[in-house]
Amino acid sequence: MPNTASPVLYSFRRCPYAMRARLALQVSQVAYEHREIVLKNKPAHMLALSPKGTVPVLWLSDASGARVLDQSLDIMLWALAQHDPLGWLPTSPEEMSSALAWVALNDGRFKQQLDRYKYPLRFGLNSGTQDRDLGSDFLWQINTHLQKNDFLTGARWGLTDAALAPFVRQFAHVDPVWFASQAWSALRVWLENFENSPGFLKAMQKIDLWRADKFHGEAFQPGDT
């Protein structure tokens, strides 16, 4: 593994984007500083790194300079490129193409439907039922795949599973009774295995909020990225 200064990760425990980033950093065994924040009170340093103000944000600082990764998939790919002891990265161009296609479907229309299902009032909706049903189409697609394959890409749990599972989990927790009543048994087993895995339980451990008064003046200029 390369010898670099420890990266700094700004994260919010329940955010599925931050969750997938933490999962990959954890499995990569890359040492990093975890700064848990409250989204209603975003640290000035995080906003200086990434003005869009969303998590996760990974600050990489070493002898070659400083750069920022503020897209969760980029953080996952960076972490696994440093060290991938469990073989999470796809092993062929075809598997990588499949992985990226799954993530694009998840992060696009499905995420929009998930947000409207979970927070209908934010979108001027009386109910999220219609978006729940639309989002279910994607879950059925996952279920169909998992009926024939144990994982989404490759022969083991990997990048694609870790990238999608936090979002499927969030969808399931909006209305657990309804979710459990659906006949997507393969999807349900896959999700239960994820939620009961040591890696997920470790990634979801609560830590103290990072306090700005602990900030010791790390220097960052936007032009350094």
Same domain, 151 and 106: yes
User: Please, what is the average pLDDT of the chain?
Assistant: 92
Same domain, 32 and 117: no
Quick check: is 64 in a domain? yes
State yes or no: pLDDT of 176 exceeds 80: yes
Same domain, 151 and 191: yes
Name the percent of the chain in helix, strand, coil, to the closest 5.
55, 10, 35
CA 69, 74, 79: angle at the middle one, nearest 5?
90
pLDDT tens for each residue of 58-83:
999 875 668 999 999 999 999 999 99
170: domain range?
Answer: 93-197
Give me the mean pLDDT over the 42-68 stretch.
90
Quick check: is 125 in a domain? yes
Quick check: is 102 in a domain? yes
Q: Looking at residue 5, what is its pLDDT?
A: 74
User: Predicted confidence band at 154 (pLDDT cuts at 50, 70, 90)?
Assistant: confident
Give me the mean pLDDT over the 131-148 stretch.
98
* Tally of CB atoms within 10 A around 44: 9
pLDDT tens for each residue of 78-125:
999 999 999 999 999 999 999 999 999 999 999 999 999 999 999 999
Q: Looking at residue 66, what is its pLDDT?
A: 82
CATH of the domain at 125: 1.20.1050.10
Q: Looking at residue 222, what is its pLDDT?
A: 37
Same domain, 59 and 149: no
Give me the mean pLDDT over the 137-142 stretch.
98
State yes or no: pLDDT of 24 exceeds 80: yes
pLDDT above 90 covers what percent of the chain?
A: 88
Residue with tokens 């009774």: 177
DSSP state of 156: S
Same domain, 108 and 156: yes
Same domain, 118 and 168: yes
Model's pTM, two decimal places? 0.91
Q: Looking at residue 95, what is its pLDDT?
A: 96
Same domain, 98 and 191: yes
Whether residue 168 contacts residue 19, with contact meaning beta carbons closer than 8 Å, is answered with no
Total domains in the fold of the chain: 2
Same domain, 61 and 104: no
pLDDT above 70 covers what percent of the chain?
A: 91
Quick check: is 1 in a domain? no
Q: Looking at residue 224, what is its pLDDT?
A: 34
Instruction: Pick the closest to residue 20 from 151, 191, 166 (CA basis).
Output: 166
Quick check: is 128 in a domain? yes
Same domain, 80 and 107: no
Same domain, 169 and 103: yes
Q: Looking at residue 187, what is its pLDDT?
A: 98
Give me the mean pLDDT over the 175-188 stretch.
98
Same domain, 120 and 153: yes
Same domain, 51 and 108: no
Quick check: is 2 in a domain? no
User: Predicted confidence band at 221 (pLDDT cuts at 50, 70, 90)?
Assistant: very low
65-74, 142-151, 200-209: least confidently modelled range: 65-74
Q: Looking at residue 3, what is its pLDDT?
A: 43
CATH of the domain at 25: 3.40.30.10
Give me the mean pLDDT over the 144-173 stretch.
97
